[in-house]
Structure 1
């Protein structure tokens, strides 16, 4: 009897064999509908052609004849657990037999396996062969339970060439999940085609693609399946990227319809803004500021991303933009993610504003009550026309007189709700978001796709290249010798530690900031030194930073709290301990804390691992190239170092692998929106809008 068809939006609980515990496991994994279930693809495919009979596995001398990964299938004949004598680790051992031979399976510190497995289980195991005391063995293999010996559970998996493997989700083992997927595939009807022809040409439809990925035919390309680059993968990736691109296009189209405050300009205003400039703008700064002025005077709400490399002069462009509104009766607010960065911006702004410095107000969460009350009064009255602050600007007590422009620094560190809270304080102000981390175009399209973009790709004159070197721990003395030389010439130094507390991760003992302080006091006993990290109280942190900025302290030992917003031109050397603990873009940001004065500066990394990755920083100082490499190595989820509120959660698409595909989808989305969306496209977007953070589809 055939079962009734089910739409993709159906709850996964309509499938047979899904009890409360297994349904809860799916729910916890974010699998709510049939669409969620089917788009959660196998994590690996076992090629029947690579399945090895146990009797064919041999030794060559004292080593396995097959040094690579092997896949075997057999029945458990013995299973026991013990404890190693020396290190007292749990040892689980099993004997696998398939009629041609036997193989020993060994796991360390995985005692749960002795409870999860039973003698008589049919087990698929894959891993790298090793030579043990009793012959060949698989140490720490990954396994998949295939049922019990003698059990008749339907089609034997080895009738097909490729066997898809699914991760176990709580009470739901991979094999049970596979059965749910097969039932869903048999009951879901083909959805109407919604992709434009230029994107769907030569690709299977979505249901066919899902069948190809959950049940690959024997002639599938194994390499493309493993890399996620088969035509079926591409079809699903296109669907995600096109849906996201359409959502971005809709959001941008809605913004373009909104009327914005027209900020007046005049020759007198231009002269006043010129008086703030300590030096001539670079060509890139002039170009970016002209784009901002055009937005502010257009009658539409500005939403622009200003990004540039370390030292490219974003702060000055931000000040000029705020000056456009502040000097014509409005207010501009700059939102910074940390108090260190907010204080630095306020210091820079006051220096540029000169006689107008009293029109600036700094608002921080750690202010004393009376100080904060006075600051709030100045903001509410409009006396403060330039406002710089942290998350304190979101507080209900903060009321603006005439907020017309919001500048957000390090935009990715703020959530959507926080940004909306600030927007409500000013009606519909203009927005300028800045990124101190150069963002590769592919990621910028995904995260900031509905923003117009300005790029500062030129450094101000006088910025010298920074000498960058990588030292192994045994040669760390070379780094301290450079610090000694710089201090002798009257300069200052940063030393960055990856950890506040002692830790032992991955068998590498990390030197924490306290141990680093002790080491440096021993090496430089007569040198004034300050230590800063994120656990200090705001006042204490500010006082220590002030002593270093004033030159009273010659060495600043810090965690990444100094990554952005610290400007000490006399600091000419930075040493980063355990550099492998940082992303490339983060290291590049840290490097930007030196090289800010007239003297040649040095950036020295100490690391005994990941030297090939870190060599990227030695080879180039181009932040965009470094960011692209960082994105390729770490993926977009880790790129910012924090969970990105605006980053879509793709299941199949990959922003690194599919960056060219994303560009094609952006073009197709603009064309589809101009021509008018089809009913199938509207329905698909409604289903996808929550998952991919799309614009509201009415």
Structure 2
């Protein structure tokens, strides 16, 4: 055990009680303490008045030119005022509710004051008095608790560097440190806590972020190399002649992008190495057809396939799509969901175990106990980020290392793809089928709703249909949003003269009721369908040309894009109308972005930029690592460089034994806290 892995109780002044308090902050060892970095810094360097921006927090040093005066008002309220001069500029200084500072202000003496500068009034609202100004600094601010204060933590960190600093070993190869001009590890860690100035902090953070990303990518690349180095999967020797015949009989031509990704997946199927591939494709790009082709290939080799999706509506949709493409005498497809009747479920489970069912489509029901396959070869998870890491793992374990294909219509920014899925291969369908007309997106205010409904008569009278999406089912005292039942009643009255049928769909309905409502909409009997976001994925009604989204600012960009993708699936021009009155710039920015692009990958990058990875995916669901210093958005360039360098090192034969990489090999081999929660 190195000294750094010892308990913080080895520090002077840290007893059992204080150690327990530090543990609540995640600080248990000396190493934890050294790596407990500030979340921000206060720049209390002395500044010249002419250099300071309005409302900037700064330290100003000058001479006290008017005696301090304390004015009291209200209950326990006070105002301390005095005047200072820097060079020939005189300015006012005021402190609220800190009358005891009066004794520190002496007429004619130098003083340094930290506070917020008001350029128009030539005044400083004080926060701290720094005495003579000799202790100006770039001060660290930490996340602390009621029992662990800043004034407790900072001396402990200084002591840890004094007592154990010589134990901080370098773990980056010299070649990388020189190539990117990175600080040594000890110096960088110290400067993260106690930088002399912003420039030194910037250099320290570059080093720490690069190290964090680089070590993570080294582990991911190592997993990838391990997967490829051994024949540790199934070699699915599909019948290429039958597969080509199947593709030639499809009712449409595959796009070049669909052909490319199909070839990539089929190569993986034949390989004896275990496949883990992510298939990304924008809304309407044709991922389902690719899934059908590779499932068919799997069946021709004598294996079974499983397709897991997040909702019963989507499962039903996929079931119908596959049955429409496959010859029922050649490929047998079954549907298994939570709503499958008990008698039918027993029959499906028996036939699955006997190998009589070739492909099963289902929801979470697929990963329940009792679901046994005879010879599972391929597992496909659609909208995979909606399933937890453990749920996906359980399905994979239903067979002996079946090949795994993850699909998503939520375009994942490259930054997240190379982080969360760095050990996977990635295929992208970056082309829409021919003849698709781009969806026109408009943003209107709630007061314009009736004029939008008037306009909708044009589309409805042409025989087309319309979705209306609402965030809530019923009224809520918490949120002032239009609810589905209220909108449903309003639209029934609005379209009553035209006798247009209006339907209502939401998640609280029973499955049979949902199916009946969707069937009526698909068949064209229902002209307008009011729904909550249960409609978000999988529903395919080519005749629907209008998507009206109420309170659109309540949704994320990715979700809005998914909803928009429910229209524009036929040959007619389609429209997405966003009804929203966002009160902040963030909401307004999202509405503007939606009207400017139909490209899901552009939107996903913007969504990541605006909301951050935790909001876009949710850490626990996606398996994204939680980095200490690195930011997946702000430090995306460093992440990419770290990935490239890690991949290059893993290409070197037996790199672990080379002298330059000894420190790196040791840190990767050592047990440590997991990146994932």
- The aligned residue for residue 405 of structure 2 is 432
Partner of 1:647 in structure 2?
624
Count of aligned residue pairs for this structure pair? 638
Compared CA separation, residues 399 and 444, structure 1 to 2 (3 A): same
Q: TM-score, normalised by structure 1?
A: 0.82
Instruction: State the match for 2:145 in structure 1.
Output: 169
1:544 has 2:491 as partner: no
2:89 alignment counterpart: none
Q: What secondary structure is seen at the aligned counterpart in 2 of 1:483?
A: helix
Flag the 1:42–1:642 CA change in 2: closer, same or farther, 3 A. closer
Residue number among 35, 39, 48 corresponding to 2:31 in the alignment: 35
CA drift at 1:96: 5.8
> For the residues of structure 1 that align with 2:290 and 2:304, how far apart are their CA atoms?
16
Q: Quick one: distance in 2 between partners of 1:357 and 1:618?
A: 46
Per the alignment, residue 46 of structure 1 pairs with 42
Using the alignment, how far apart are the partners of 2:593 and 2:268 within structure 1? 37
1:667-682 correspondence runs (5 A): 667-675=644-652, 676-677=655-656, 678-682=661-665
Gaps of 5+ in 1: 57-64, 83-92, 107-116
CA distance in 1, matches of 2:575, 2:3: 61
Which whole-Å deviations, capped at 9, do the CAs of 1:373-413 have from their partners, x for residues lacking one? 22212221212111111111111110011100001112222
**Counterpart mapping for 1:147-158 below 5 A:** none
Asked whether 1:666 is paired with 2:650, we answer no
1:656 aligns with 2:633: yes
Q: Does 1:418 align with 2:401?
A: no
Aligned with 1:301: secondary structure?
coil
The structure-2 alpha-carbon separation of the partners of 1:598 and 1:66, relative to structure 1 and needing over 3 Å to count, comes to closer
Once the 2 structures are TM-superposed, how far is the Cα of residue 286 of structure 1 from its aligned partner? 0.6
CA deviation after TM superposition for structure 1 residue 295, in Å: 1.0
Task: Write out per-residue CA displacement over residues 187-209 of structure 1, whole angstroms, 9 at most, x where no aligned residue.
Answer: 33253322133432211112211
Q: After superposition, where does 1:619-634 map in structure 2 within 5 Å? A: 619-634=596-611
Contact 2:71 2:80 (C-alpha < 8 Å) held by counterparts: no
| Secondary structure of residue in 2 paired with 1:588 | helix
Per the alignment, do residues 674 and 137 of structure 1 end up closer, same or farther by CA in structure 2, a change over 3 Å counting?
Answer: closer
Q: Work out whether 1:309 is the aligned partner of 2:282.
A: yes
Report deviation, 1:308: 1.3
Matched, 1:319 2:292: yes
CA distance in 2, matches of 1:203, 1:473: 53
Inter-CA distance 182–550: structure 2 relative to 1 (3 Å threshold): farther
Paired residues for 1:43-122 under 5 Å = 43-49=39-45, 68-70=55-57, 94-95=77-78, 97=80, 103=94
Of 467, 480, 486, the residue aligned with 1:515 is: 486
**Change in 2 beyond 3 A, CA 1:368/1:21:** farther
Partner of 2:223: 251
Give the direction of change, closer, same or farther, for the CA distance of 1:466–1:368 in structure 2 (3 Å limit).
same
Identify if the C-alpha distance between structure 1 residues 6 and 415 changes in structure 2 by more than 3 Å, giving closer, same or farther: same
Matches within 5 A, 1:225-624: 230-256=202-228, 257-274=230-247, 277-356=250-329, 359-503=332-476, 509-525=480-496, 526-609=499-582, 610-624=587-601
Could you tell me which runs of 5 or more consecutive residues in structure 2 were left unpaired when the two chains were aligned. Answer: 61-67, 84-91, 105-112
Shift of the alpha carbon at 1:493? 1.1
Question: Retained in 1: the 8 A contact 2:552–2:579?
Answer: yes
Contact 2:93–2:124 (Cα < 8 Å) also in 1: no
Contact 2:460–2:527, Cα closer than 8 Å, also in 1: yes
Partner of 2:158: 182
Q: Who is 1:206 aligned against? A: 185
TM-score when scaled to structure 2?
0.84
TM-align CA RMSD: 3.7
Deviation track 1:596-652 (CA, whole Å, cap 9, x = no partner) reads 112111011112223233222212211111211221222222223674432111111
Cα deviation, 1:333-358, whole Å, max 9, x if unaligned, reads: 01112222222211211111143587
Match of 1:405, SS state, is: strand
Q: In structure 2, how many angstroms separate the alpha carbons of the residues matched to 1:529 and 1:76? A: 72
User: Cα 1:648–1:235, aligned 2, differ >3 Å: closer, same or farther?
Assistant: same
Relative to structure 1, the CA distance from residue 568 to residue 689 in structure 2 (aligned partners, 3 Å threshold; closer, same or farther) is: farther
- What's the CA shift for 1:522? 3.6
SS at 1:374's partner residue?
helix
CA deviation profile, 1:204-263 (whole Å, cap 9, x unmatched): 112211221211114x33xx95xxxx1111101111111111111111112112432222
What secondary structure, in the 3-state scheme, does the structure 2 residue paired with 1:633 have? helix
C-alpha displacement at 1:485, in angstroms?
A: 2.3
1:77/1:94 contact within 8 Å kept: no
